[in-house]
Amino acid sequence: MGPAGRKRTGLLVTVAVYGVLVVLGAVEGLIGSFQYGNMAGSVPVAAIAADAVILVTCLLAGWAVRSVSGALAPAAGWILASFVLSMPVSNGSVIITDTTAGKWYLYGGTLSTVIGVALSFGLLARARPR
């Protein structure tokens, strides 16, 4: 295989990796959107756990890809899935409700994605040789 073939293969692998990371974030958002209300008492444990999972996913994806865009890919998938599922439909039903758990899930998850991307940026900038 010549240099052009290796370049094309490398591009396909890169696109596939980022695609998988976006889908991973979307799947986490989909699962979290239906499970955020599982509570133990008055604390929204499942919502907080889902927020922690997307934070860790963003950090690990950024570390694995060695790029901030690696952290941004699952964050984008999560935000897309979660916010689409939080919108009401024409018949009036909504999946993520305006409850304490819903707010913790949606706002906490959004904050977790921002923190994950920012920490990835900081850690990767620090790790690069000068």
Kindly provide the b/e burial profile for residues 106-115, where b requires at least 16 CB atoms within 10 angstroms of the residue's own CB.
Answer: bebbbebbeb
pLDDT (0 to 100) of residue 68: 93
The residue among 112, 100, 91, 88 whose CA lies nearest residue 29 is 112
CA distance 21 to 65: 10
pLDDT of residue 3: 67
What pLDDT does 128 receive? Answer: 65
Mean pLDDT of the chain: 89
Q: Is pLDDT above 80 for 70?
A: yes
The pLDDT value given to residue 40:
62
Would the pTM of this model clear 0.75, i.e. be above it?
Answer: yes
Q: Note every long-range contact of 56-62, with CB atoms under 8 Å and residues 24 or more positions apart, other chains counting.
A: 56/116, 57/24, 57/25, 57/28, 57/116, 58/112, 58/113, 58/116, 58/117, 58/120, 59/116, 59/119, 59/120, 59/123, 61/21, 61/24, 61/120, 62/116, 62/117, 62/119, 62/120, 62/121, 62/123, 62/124
Average pLDDT over residues 29-45: 86
Q: What pLDDT sits at residue 8?
A: 79
Q: What is the mean pLDDT of residues 52-64?
A: 96
Distance CA 47, CA 36 (A): 4
Q: Is the pLDDT of residue 74 over 80?
A: yes
Averaged over 32-36, what is the pLDDT? 93
The CA distance from 130 to 5, in Å, is 32
For the cut 70, the answer to whether the pLDDT of residue 18 exceeds it is yes
User: What residues contact residue 16 under an 8 Å CB cut-off, 6+ apart?
Assistant: none
